[in-house]
Amino acid sequence: MSKEITSRNSDYSKWYNDLVLKAGLADYSAVRGCMVIKPYGFALWENMRDQLDKMFKDTGHVNAYFPLFVPKSLFEAEEKNAEGFAKECAVVTHYRLKADPNKKGSLMVDPEAKLEEELVVRPTSEAIIWNTYKGWIQSYRDLPLLINQWANVVRWEMRTRLFLRTAEFLWQEGHTAHATEQEAVAEAEQMLEVYAEFVEEWMALPVIKGVKTESERFAGAVNTYCIEALMQDGKALQAGTSHFLGQNFAKAFDVKFSDKENKLEYVWATSWGVSTRLIGALVMAHSDDEGLVLPPRIAPLQVVIVPIFKGEEQKAQIDARVGSLVQELKKAGVRVKYDDNDNARPGWKFAEYELKGVPLRLAIGARDLENNSAELARRDTREKMSVSMDGLTDTILQLLDDIQLRMFAKARDYRDAHIIPADTMEDFLRILDGEGGFVSAHWDGTAETEEAIKEKTKATIRCIPLNNPEENGTCIFSGKPSTQRVLFARAY
């Protein structure tokens, strides 16, 4: 099974695609650039979604649902936002099909069912939501509005990759409205912290928190906060963004509130989102040449138990012992499966569950029963150990914790070893063309230099880290004075 996967060294990009397809996370579809999220991939997304949803609710947010379509006139109201997304909009122009008179059994778009105003399939929902908020906000008493939505969005990308960049993807988008600038900024920062906590503690993926440069900002934002992660090929991946939108959308949609002094003011806004792209990050950050390696806290299956037996009698003995173990594990909240399917041999199952990244595999044979033991295999280190059946639930719970922590530590060590200062363009390129990673370099703060470096090296400024130390230097490209280093990388 594992032999069918390209190795990371031979072709990292093909390794990734192989893994996504063969581990059953996703599949291509008949629609250009759209994917099918398969049950195993969706179970992973459900675990991520449920935890994020809990964290959003714990910070006072509620869910709602806004229309899929945005009338063109609303879409274009916030000019920068419209400009930023116009090139990738799927547009509904008609509302009916009819039988094609020239081709039996075929349908055609009914030209008489042309919409008066075209509808954009939402690439993001600021426009439709702020147009709605206009009706909901009159007074400071209506604020803050702390609303999130789980939804599908469509951005017509020319070059797509499973999870990382697809025309349609699933995400959540928070859209909040506030009475003061300070409160909105605090909200945007809080949600960045929530994202960082989720990605680090649940996905075992260390991130760098920072802000985007002006040219990398979300279209329509005053400030874009982001978390950046590092993949095993030395490329960076933006794992989540949180935007302080100022009063841009309030002005575009004329959303004002009367404050305590009865003065009319424009409302302050934030928006923030993460998407199924995170699954791509998860795969690329942790997996190996044998398959996925999933962090226990979000793995659809945490433990798989495989019986090894000859004949019905041995099988019955193992069934009996495993039955109570499974119950105990489930009671302890462990996601466990007993795979006694007799269509496949144990070796095949072992490879299959390695491919699927199940954190722990327990093999139990007749001799194990005699010895009151079992063989436990960790997916992350591929270590095997003989363990006692006594207190096995505790052993497993401890190991799951340990795997979670070790995966994070491993990814963090790799990341930390790949934040490399450079003071010349030669070093800069040498690092990028070598092992890659984040290059920490001085930048003169201009969009021109940023663009020139991108042109020359394919690296972008991933972020200006939060609490970035001041350091006087000269821009690596222009030689002009600079007050801080920023992080460059090639990125997904």
Binding site for a copy of itself (CB under 8 A): 27, 29-31, 34-39, 41-43, 45-46, 62-72, 74-76, 79, 82, 86-99, 105-107, 109, 118-121, 128, 131-132, 135-136, 141, 147, 151-152, 154, 156, 168, 170, 343
Contact 96, 110 (CB under 8 A): yes
How far is Cα 487 from Cα 443, in angstroms, rounded to an integer? 10
The set of residues, in sequence order, having a beta carbon less than 8 Å from that of 408 and lying 6+ positions away, is: 200, 201, 204, 205, 206, 295
Q: How far is the CB of 80 from a copy of itself (least distance, A)?
A: 12
How far is Cα 249 from Cα 254, in angstroms, rounded to an integer? 8
- Looking at beta carbons only, is 121 or 400 nearer to a copy of itself? 121
Q: How far is the CB of 271 from a copy of itself (least distance, A)?
A: 16
Q: Assign 277 to helix, strand or coil.
A: helix
Helix residue ranges, H only, 418-475: 425-433, 447-457
- Looking at beta carbons only, is 52 or 74 nearer to a copy of itself? 74
Burial code (b: 16+ CB inside 10 Å, e: under 16) for 324-338 equals ebbeebeeeebbbeb
Q: How far is the CB of 149 from a copy of itself (least distance, A)?
A: 8
Q: How far is the CB of 258 from a copy of itself (least distance, A)?
A: 15
Q: How far is the CB of 154 from a copy of itself (least distance, A)?
A: 7
How far is Cα 311 from Cα 243, in angstroms, rounded to an integer? 62
Q: How far is the CB of 30 from a copy of itself (least distance, A)?
A: 5
- Looking at beta carbons only, is 68 or 186 nearer to a copy of itself? 68
Beta bridge partners of 151: 171
- Looking at beta carbons only, is 128 or 285 nearer to a copy of itself? 128
- Looking at beta carbons only, is 63 or 386 nearer to a copy of itself? 63
- Looking at beta carbons only, is 117 or 370 nearer to a copy of itself? 117
Q: How far is the CB of 390 from a copy of itself (least distance, A)?
A: 32
Burial code (b: 16+ CB inside 10 Å, e: under 16) for 247-285 equals bbbbebbebbbeeeeeeeebbbbbbbbbbbbbbbbbbbb
Question: If residue 63 lies in a helix (H) or strand (E), which one and from where to where?
Answer: strand 62-63
User: Cα dihedral angle (394, 396, 400, 406), rounded to 10 degrees?
Assistant: 100
Show the tokens assigned to 13: 């990009």
Cis before residue 39, ω within 30 degrees of 0? no
- Looking at beta carbons only, is 110 or 383 nearer to a copy of itself? 110
- Looking at beta carbons only, is 107 or 452 nearer to a copy of itself? 107
Q: How far is the CB of 337 from a copy of itself (least distance, A)?
A: 13
How far is Cα 432 from Cα 184, in angstroms, rounded to an integer? 37
Q: Assign 134 to helix, strand or coil.
A: helix
Tokens 């190795």 sit on residue: 7
Contact 156, 167 (CB under 8 A): yes
Q: How far is the CB of 315 from a copy of itself (least distance, A)?
A: 20
Tokens 């920490």 sit on residue: 440
- Looking at beta carbons only, is 95 or 348 nearer to a copy of itself? 95
Q: How far is the CB of 348 from a copy of itself (least distance, A)?
A: 13
- Looking at beta carbons only, is 92 or 332 nearer to a copy of itself? 92
